[in-house]
Amino acid sequence: MKIEISSEKHLHYAEEIKQEMADSALKRGTGIAQRTVEFLRYKMLEGNAVVATDDDGCWAGFCYLSSWSDGEYVANSGMIVSPNFRNRGLAKMMKDKIFELSRAKYPDAKMFSLTTGLAIMKINSDLGYKPVTYSEITKDETFWEGCKSCVNYKVLQSKNRENCLCTAMLYTSKQEAFPFNTITEKNTKNEEKCSIGV
């Protein structure tokens, strides 16, 4: 298994990733902002995503980053693991990698997450994210436009965008610096089971 920063060579996975995002949300009965194949490919070409694949080149996982409010805020979004590769700690490894990439590209940004997933909340908490009210995250209208495709958008509207079913979490650069050496050590240990490359 390897986890790489996205590039042109990953574009052919976009259709499968989009479909799995939709299927997974439907099975869980949770809200998720839908993304187009074109959007996912754009993120890949920008180098603003991480893609996990197995030794045979099969897609295993995906996550991307976006910046908002002129780089003041960054969100890691679209975390999805293929059903064949779940329950192996892959989401945690991908989150570590996209977090590293986000901090490298936007070192002073406040990083936030909106999620209904308990596993993602736990991973975020381990990285140093704290639960916050919606008033603490970006006000960028483009970000909130993305919520329109979520099944819970009416809930968000009825609450005047002050809360919804998602939990908001925030990591700021004023917090203790992220332990990059710890990630490197973890990844080195994990390489006994999987190869993680950039």
Note the pLDDT tens digit of each residue in 112-159: 999 888 889 999 999 999 999 999 999 999 999 888 878 888 999 999
Report, as an integer, the average pLDDT of 95-121.
93
Lowest mean pLDDT among 87-91, 99-103, 165-169, 177-181: 177-181
Mean pLDDT over each residue of the chain, to the nearest integer: 85
Name the nearest CA neighbour of 13 among 62, 48, 54: 62
In the predicted structure, residue 87 carries a pLDDT above the cut 70: yes
Q: Could you say which architecture CATH assigns to the domain 2-190?
A: 3-Layer(aba) Sandwich (3.40)
Contact residues for 30 (Cβ-Cβ < 8 A; gap 6+): 116, 117, 165
In the predicted structure, residue 53 carries a pLDDT above the cut 70: yes
Helix (H, G, I), strand (E, B) or coil at 3: strand
pTM of the predicted protein model: 0.80
Report, as an integer, the average pLDDT of 161-179.
77
Indicate the pairing of strand 130-132 with strand 167-171.
antiparallel
Q: How far apart are CA 9 and CA 69, in angstroms?
A: 30
